[in-house]
Amino acid sequence: MGNRAPYYRMVFGLAALYNLAFGLWTGLAPDAFFDLFHLRQPLYPAIWSCLGMVVGTYGLGYAYAALRLERAAPFIVIGLIGKVLGPIGWVLTVRSGEWPVRTFPLVLFNDIVWWLPFALFLIDGTQSGARLRAAAGPACAALNALAALAMIVVLRPGTEVAPDVAGRMAYITSHPVLWRAGWGLWIAAALSLLAFYAWWGSGLPRRPWALAAFLVAALGAGCDLSAESLFIGWLPERIEELQRAGTILTGGAANGLYTMAGIMLTLKTKTLRGPILAWTWAVWAAGGALTATTLAGSATGMVVSTTVLMTLFCPWAWCMGRRLR
């Protein structure tokens, strides 16, 4: 496991903190979840509180796993099974009409974001695990390219780039499956970027610096997924308020944090020289431009900077994956 162990410890520690916080939230304020997602209050809120306590108990297992990686496998297997079953139950609940799609953040943050690191830990040391790690760069490049294509072909008419709010609402309402699938690709792209940064950092000698970069990128991913959850679950409802907030979260905060994390890793990667180093800094410059134009609210600037960023980033991630391997 070697240099990867600190990343597993960090991920399991974050999972523990999340589960314990969620357990306390639902246990102490059982009505808060239903208020947040505009749901009818349950007849028996104590059941929801008990569910929160169960989720919090999982957090104790993840904390132990973070401390004792050599004994973590049973806890991670049980956790991963629960995190696969959770979204299945959510889909059935939404299909039955009991819950709306806007509750999607529940399964995204409780379950889906943990699938990859939990699964990678369980197959660490196997040939399958080695192949998956080696594919970090190409997979990140491919998923981000697909997400960029989805933005051009599917999502663009419903985004802030389109000036007519009524037209945006009509487009999202008439294309709900395509709209949600497109943002689903961006979720996959964000998680692949986080995995790529972890893989990159695990090969660097300055471990604390690389772990700090990963933590910065993880914070960016949290902003990114929060924005995409808003787009998937809430729009076109409250579109002017929520879409602007989501755009700032993803194009401003998340992209800025990803860029910062990339710069941190670049500064400690002494093997980068010549054209690939210049290319790397061009990627981060484009990322900074996207953050600036997003915060400024410039639609034209966002289009241009996103185009430049993705044109540079996707082939760069592929090349970096091959070079660093």
Provide the CB-side half-sphere exposure for 199 (13 A, CA): 29
Confidence label for 24 from pLDDT (cuts 50, 70 and 90): very high
Mark whether 123 and 144 lie in a shared domain: no
* Domain C-terminal end among 71, 103, 128: 128
Mark whether 115 and 190 lie in a shared domain: no
325 has a pLDDT exceeding 80: no
Mark whether 124 and 231 lie in a shared domain: no
Residue 41's pLDDT is what? 86
- Structural Rg of the chain based on CA atoms: 20
Residue 170's pLDDT is what? 96
- The mean pLDDT of 286-312, rounded to a whole number, is 96
Mark whether 108 and 148 lie in a shared domain: no
Mark whether 277 and 183 lie in a shared domain: yes
The token pair at 207 is: 């471990």
Rounded distance, CA 51 to CA 34, Å?
Answer: 14
* Domain C-terminal end among 64, 94, 128: 128
Mark whether 122 and 142 lie in a shared domain: no
Count of structural domains within the chain: 2
Confidence label for 71 from pLDDT (cuts 50, 70 and 90): very high
Mark whether 196 and 315 lie in a shared domain: yes
Q: How many CB atoms lie within 10 A of CB 31?
A: 14
Mark whether 188 and 316 lie in a shared domain: yes
Q: Which of 159, 184, 175 is nearest to 107 (CA)?
A: 184
Task: Express each pLDDT in 227-280 by its tens digit.
Answer: 999 999 999 988 988 999 999 999 999 999 999 999 999 999 999 999 999 999
Rounded distance, CA 171 to CA 154, Å?
Answer: 10
Mark whether 46 and 102 lie in a shared domain: yes
**Residue range(s) defining the domain that contains residue 78:** 2-128
Q: Which long-range contacts link 217-221 to residues 24+ away (Cβ below 8 Å)?
A: 217/193, 217/257, 217/258, 217/261, 217/262, 218/14, 218/194, 219/257, 220/253, 220/254, 220/255, 220/256, 220/257, 220/258, 220/260, 220/261, 221/113, 221/190, 221/191, 221/193, 221/194, 221/254
Mark whether 177 and 211 lie in a shared domain: yes
Residue 141's pLDDT is what? 97
* Domain C-terminal end among 111, 128, 145: 128
Burial class (CB in 10 A: 0-12, 13-18, 19+), 136: buried
Residue 43's pLDDT is what? 80
Residue 174's pLDDT is what? 96
Mark whether 192 and 267 lie in a shared domain: yes
Rounded distance, CA 241 to CA 243, Å?
Answer: 6
Mark whether 204 and 167 lie in a shared domain: yes
Residue 240's pLDDT is what? 86
